[in-house]
Each structure stands twice: as C-alpha cells, then as structure tokens.
Amino acid sequence: MKNLLLLACFVLSSTLVKADFKSSFRAKHDRYRDPNFYTTSGIEAALFQFGDISGANFTDKNGKTIAQKMIPRFSYFFNVGADYNYKLDKNFSVFTGINVKNIGLIAKYDTLKFKHRVYTVGFPLGFRIHSADRKTWFKAGFDASWAVHYKKKTFVDNKKTEKYSAWFSDCTSTFFPSVFAGLSVGGVSVNTNVYLNNFFNPYNMRNFDYNGDLITLGLGINMNKTFKKKKGKKHEEATEAQ
C-alpha cells in the first residue's frame, strides 16, 4: 500500500511539474506568436487529371494514322500540402506553402497505351477570401512546381510490356507552373490547377516532339491550426476540421 501511495505521489508530482513547465514555456514564447498567422493543411484524396497529347502519331500496317484516345487519370496517393496564411482582414488572407502532387497523362492508340506520371513539389502563392471563422473559403493564385520523379509504362493489349522511371528525369519539363483556384466548405474542398507549359520535354528521345496539356480537379479534406489572443495571452487552439 505504501509503495502504491509513493508511486501515486510520484506520478502526480511529475504531472504537475510537466504542466508547470509547459505553462512556463508557453508563456515565455507566446509573445512571438502572431494571432493573424495560421496554417491550413490538406489532403487531395481524389485527384482527377484531364489532358491532351499532340505530336504523337502511330500508324497501322497499312500506313493509316491510328486515332488517339485520351483517358482521364485518377490518383489518390501522395497528394498533400500545407498553406501558411497571414490574415490581413477578418475575411482576407494571403498565403504561401508547399505541396506534393502525383500528376500525369494516359494516352491510348488502339491496342497500345502509355501512362506518364510525375511527382512534383510545389510552392503556391495566393490569396484566400474566407468567413470570419474560416470554415468557408475561396482561394486562388499561382503555383511553381518542380518535377522530382518520372515514370512511364507501356501496355500492349492491356499487358505491361515496359516500365521506365527516374529521379529528376529530363523526359518531362523540369518546371510545372500553374494557376489554381479552390473552394472549401466545412473542411471539404474542391481545387483545380491549369498547367501552363508542356508536360513533356519534346527534345528527349523517349517523348520526342510530344506536347502535353494538363488540367487537374481535386477533392480533398482540409484542417486548420491557428493562434488566438485570450485575456491578454495567446494560446494555441486545437487542430480542428475546417
């Protein structure tokens, strides 16, 4: 019994010391926190990609050009990002951030099919118009992304015959600029990006003379973390769905 009491006292004292330390640490560093600064993170759980490829011509045994069919692409893995916002007015903020996206194009020529995929790391710059509680917002801006990993798969009669992948490949453009817009209501968002340059590097022999246009439409979930001032002291709110 005595040991249990000693253990209980130890646990209680440790908890109190930890709580006091956290309180002192927070009080010391609160003065550096700006209540107008907040972060917004998100996951694009469903990213649809639509595009067109020109310059790629295939012919049949009679020399007749085979019609091209573009297939919409869907990706759900590794489409994430975080925005770092600064509130200029109760309904207006500016932001920058970082994101990682899985984007690509799929083209089919009769029994022949090509899948092109690239991972990009992007840095957006834009503005956000939002409700006072920021549970509803509209954003727009410009995103500068860089390609970090490329993969190409070739299929004949729906059977994979070749796969090529490389880090920082010159098969695609290195720079992927785009303009974007998005709307979020209650933590559920819809976002679109219109890419402004050629998806491919047309001077690379794997994609020689190809030109690819791309538009994405993403459905996602957003979360918000912010700092507010209360009774003369700033404290961190719990992360909540927005």
What does the pLDDT look like over 90-99, one tens digit per residue?
999 999 999 9
Q: What is the CA radius of gyration of the chain?
A: 25
Q: Are strands 240-241 and 73-75 parallel, antiparallel or unpaired?
A: unpaired
> Residue 228 pLDDT more than 80?
no
The tokens of 215 are what?
A: 């538009």
> Could you read off the pLDDT of 140-158 as tens digits, one per residue?
999 999 999 999 999 999 9
Nearest to 239 by CA among 39, 72, 54, 80: 39
**Coil, strand, or helix at residue 2?**
helix
> Could you read off the pLDDT of 102-124 as tens digits, one per residue?
999 999 999 999 999 999 999 99
Round the average pLDDT of the chain to a whole number and report it. Answer: 83
Average pLDDT over residues 42-50: 90
**Every domain of the chain and the residues it spans:** 1-32, 34-241
Per DSSP, which regions of the chain are E strands? Answer: 37-54, 69-71, 73-75, 80-89, 92-109, 112-130, 136-156, 159-167, 175-185, 188-195, 211-230, 233-236, 240-241
Q: Which residues contact 144 (CB under 8 A, 6 or more apart)?
A: 122, 123, 124, 125, 175, 176, 177
What does the alpha-carbon distance between residue 177 and residue 144 come to, in Å, rounded to a whole number?
5
Average pLDDT over residues 47-74: 88
**Between 229 and 125, residue with greater pLDDT:** 125
pLDDT at 225: 67
Phi-psi region of 231 (alpha: psi -120 to 50; beta: other; left: phi over 0): left
**Are 226 and 235 within 8 A, CB to CB?**
no
Average pLDDT over residues 52-78: 86
Cα 142 to its chain centre, rounded Å, is 13
6-15, 90-99, 166-175, 181-190: least confidently modelled range = 6-15
Q: Which residues contact 142 (CB under 8 A, 6 or more apart)?
A: 124, 125, 126, 177, 178, 179, 180
242 falls in which pLDDT band (50, 70, 90)? very low
The tokens of 129 are what?
A: 């118009």
**Are 191 and 149 within 8 A, CB to CB?**
no
